Chain A
């Protein structure tokens, strides 16, 4: 790979995007206090009707990308990818921010977690079948892992899969499933034997419209509903939809979870990407607190943590480019993210005062309640902070298991 080649690639891509999509309104424009919508987005929690309505455009966007060879830039050529390095994929992703494209936010689980799992654990036939469909947005996938009785202790899943000839019959209940209401297919972890604990789980890809699958929205403490409960009542699935060997579901699940933690920490740059320094500064000024030495101390502390989260991500990306393999400590990025959200919530609450608890009508003040309400979710999502610390202590530091 030379810089000339990537330069040409990006120039072609830019021309392709420019011919199809209008330039982004925000491109090159700086944040301006008091202008436009003051929503502070923490989770993707769009109105369900609007969200479903946006899907056809998202699927069209993915199909167009696929047809033009930009659908899976760093994917292997044998499954329809362009076979280029991650640098090309990142460069293209950055380019798309300059245009009004439908985006991939509804496909985070599909592309960021399920597709890599199929690539790693799928049979040749499954890869040939699923990977192009997932990348094209033709099939949208969700992750059916947690259950009422199996949260942090995921290996305790009670949903049963019983073999019957060339089919399996699945019954049980899943919960906290992001995007199940939009998904065509779900990666499900089921119990297929009693013992041993981690060796009796098996993964499948089930159709979300199969008879016996019921999806109910779950309202979160933020007021939004991006999660669901999923009930499975004697759902039939062919054995060819099994992902990995019978009894190997734990390994398959770990692959998916590994991608989830990485994706969470990375997508928001440990909190720095979601909210701009400019906006925080404008808030402090609007509240007339820019001369307050205590506020300046707290601001300096917060910025140092947000920046550091970004530096960690950038150094890890550079090490990956240099061919160094990432270790289990990558998951710590998720803790940096949840930690930074809590600190951000505390800072904006201190600066905003009473205007964060009741809407005075002042621009950009009450809007911060979303950060305050969303922060506890980040400590839980993608594995609780405690589960991640335990896993990192055992896998990265070699500390012994308890018991």
Chain B
């Protein structure tokens, strides 16, 4: 199939979207979200188990051979969008990225070891690819040593999502003169230090490895390609989550603009407010369409998939930051309070754009991918 034949949502995707929307509206209202992020783990383990057991989200993109649902990038984007709309704080995205790393590396024993428990919800997985500057460029922060007993890692990885609860992580390190990717079990030989974070719904940690025994899954140039695949999945997910987040922002801002009265009329009747709402709708269109196009192009293996993905994460990310800021502004003083959820979306919008590489890196990549 061509990309254009995958652009409209299928009946199955529509049903998946509706099911998730209903489930999260019921199970994750504002009070539940607040309770979850103030808890020790930052999410409700019980709710996450229900998403895994009842809806199969743990193994959404995991092939059926490894106990998952075997869905592709297009269906995954539908899920990311709904979870982004609800600011779902559980370990879904990190698990998807860990699965993407394992599958891209193609090491069957490692896949057999970790994907079935990930799909079943009995193990939480994550990735450790970033250095202290947040980029995925350096591998020098972690050194891999070959010992008679196997590979060992020593060094530090930063910005590791849900590192505080994960049982395993896919981690990149320098092995001799080149990069390599390993799977590490997060036990007593890994020090996990939570990082103070801007986005309260997405806990991050520093992992410090000291002679931690690990399993090599890919080395050399192929390791670089695995990192690129995982980063592309992070970009796709970030774009889809942004579309969901903008949807919440727009709905919240429009509801307020219709009902809040000043000078004897609803503030939405003033063009200064109405036009900002129309701009947000345009941002939602841009984010939704570019995220969908990129996911469809990726699912179909189209030649422009990489460019489309960078375009989607840049435009959706920028539209999200703008929408979150506009929503706070339209809400007025209420929007600036801790009690209103608007700041949680504002935090997510800014955080997600940076963690997916940042707007400047996306623009530079787009210039290169477009042929300049």
Chain A residues packing against B (C-beta within 8 Å): 277-278, 281, 284-285, 290, 293, 296-297, 299-301, 303-305, 307-308, 311-312, 314-319, 321-322, 324, 329, 332, 335-336, 386, 388-390, 392-394, 396-403
By a CB distance below 8 angstroms, the chain B residues around A322 are 8
A278 in contact with B277 (CB, 8 Å): no
A332 in contact with B372 (CB, 8 Å): no
B270 within 8 A of A: yes
9 A-B pairs besides A314-B4, A393-B268 with CB distance below 8 A are A278-B371, A304-B310, A312-B286, A315-B288, A318-B8, A386-B271, A397-B277, A399-B266, A400-B258
B364 in contact with A296 (CB, 8 Å): yes
The contact of B286 among A308, A386, A392, by CB within 8 Å, is: A308
| A136 → B minimal CB distance (Å) | 31
How long is the Cα–Cα vector from A30 to B360 in the complex, in angstroms? 30
B83 within 8 A of A: no
Looking across the interface, which residue of chain A has its beta carbon closest to that of B365?
A300
A315 in contact with B292 (CB, 8 Å): yes
How many B residues face the partner with a CB closer than 8 A? 46
By a CB distance below 8 angstroms, the chain B residues around A396 are 278, 281
Which of B274, B278, B286, B363 has most A Cβ within 10 Å? B278
How long is the Cα–Cα vector from A399 to B370 in the complex, in angstroms? 40
By a CB distance below 8 angstroms, the chain A residues around B365 are 300
A321 in contact with B8 (CB, 8 Å): yes
Secondary structure at chain B's binding surface: helix, strand, loop or mixed?
helix
By a CB distance below 8 angstroms, the chain A residues around B197 are none
| B267 → A minimal CB distance (Å) | 9
B363 in contact with A296 (CB, 8 Å): yes
The contact of A394 among B5, B274, B286, by CB within 8 Å, is: B274
By a CB distance below 8 angstroms, the chain B residues around A281 are 370-372
By a CB distance below 8 angstroms, the chain A residues around B254 are 397-399
B123 within 8 A of A: no
How long is the Cα–Cα vector from A399 to B274 in the complex, in angstroms? 7
B269 within 8 A of A: yes
By a CB distance below 8 angstroms, the chain A residues around B314 are 300-301, 304
| B190 → A minimal CB distance (Å) | 38
How long is the Cα–Cα vector from A284 to B367 in the complex, in angstroms? 11
How long is the Cα–Cα vector from A394 to B281 in the complex, in angstroms? 12
By a CB distance below 8 angstroms, the chain A residues around B270 are 402
How long is the Cα–Cα vector from A297 to B370 in the complex, in angstroms? 12
By a CB distance below 8 angstroms, the chain B residues around A393 are 268, 274-275, 277-278
Residues of B1-32 at the interface with A, using a CB-CB cut-off of 8 Å, are 4-5, 7-8
* CB contacts between A and B, total, < 8 Å: 148
A329 in contact with B285 (CB, 8 Å): yes
By a CB distance below 8 angstroms, the chain B residues around A402 are 265, 269-271
B366 within 8 A of A: yes
How long is the Cα–Cα vector from A393 to B273 in the complex, in angstroms? 9
A277 in contact with B370 (CB, 8 Å): yes
Looking across the interface, which residue of chain A has its beta carbon closest to that of B315?
A308
Residues of B264-309 at the interface with A, using a CB-CB cut-off of 8 Å, are 265-266, 268-271, 273-275, 277-279, 281-282, 285-286, 288-290, 292-293, 307-308
How long is the Cα–Cα vector from A393 to B281 in the complex, in angstroms? 9
| A333 → B minimal CB distance (Å) | 9
Looking across the interface, which residue of chain A has its beta carbon closest to that of B292?
A315
The contact of A400 among B7, B266, B292, B362, by CB within 8 Å, is: B266
Q: What are some 21 contacts across the A-B interface (CB < 8 A)?
A: A277-B370, A278-B371, A300-B365, A305-B315, A308-B286, A311-B292, A311-B312, A316-B289, A318-B4, A319-B7, A332-B281, A336-B282, A336-B286, A389-B278, A390-B274, A392-B281, A396-B278, A397-B254, A399-B277, A400-B258, A400-B269
A389 in contact with B372 (CB, 8 Å): no
A312 in contact with B289 (CB, 8 Å): yes
Looking across the interface, which residue of chain B has its beta carbon closest to that of A401?
B269
B275 in contact with A399 (CB, 8 Å): no
| B221 → A minimal CB distance (Å) | 26
The contact of A304 among B277, B278, B293, B315, by CB within 8 Å, is: B315
How long is the Cα–Cα vector from A87 to B254 in the complex, in angstroms? 36
The contact of B293 among A278, A285, A315, by CB within 8 Å, is: A315
By a CB distance below 8 angstroms, the chain A residues around B308 are 307, 311
Q: Which 7 residue pairs of A and B lie closest in terms of their CB atoms, listed nearest first?
A: A300-B363, A318-B7, A393-B274, A399-B268, A322-B8, A300-B366, A389-B278
